[in-house]
Amino acid sequence: MTSTQEYFSSQASPVLLAGMREIARREGSTFQAVLEDAMRNYIESRAREGVRPEVMAHFQASVERNWKLGKLLADS
């Protein structure tokens, strides 16, 4: 988290806001921290959407096939 904060105003359903407040209360956190965490997770999930599932499957298969090479390169 950066030390600089920017104020913004928005609206949300009372049910969503109550849910966020309940999470903050249950976790002993602040509403602001829960909101920032939710926003961060949303942005990260959207960033992952750009990779097609078949591309990720090929990537994962390649990582599994070449794990020894990856280890050698990491250790060098």
d(CA 60, CA 31): 37
The tens digit of pLDDT for each residue in 20-63 reads: 999 999 999 999 999 999 999 988 887 777 777 788 889 889 98
- The model's pTM: 0.58
Nearest Cα to 36, choosing from 6, 68, 75? Answer: 6
Whole-angstrom Cα distance, residue 35 to residue 42? 11
Q: pLDDT value at position 67? A: 87
Helix, coil or strand: residue 66 = coil
Q: Locate the domains of the chain by residue range.
A: 14-75
Q: What is the chain's alpha carbon radius of gyration, rounded to the nearest angstrom?
A: 20
Q: What whole-number distance in Å separates Cα of residue 2 and Cα of residue 32?
A: 13
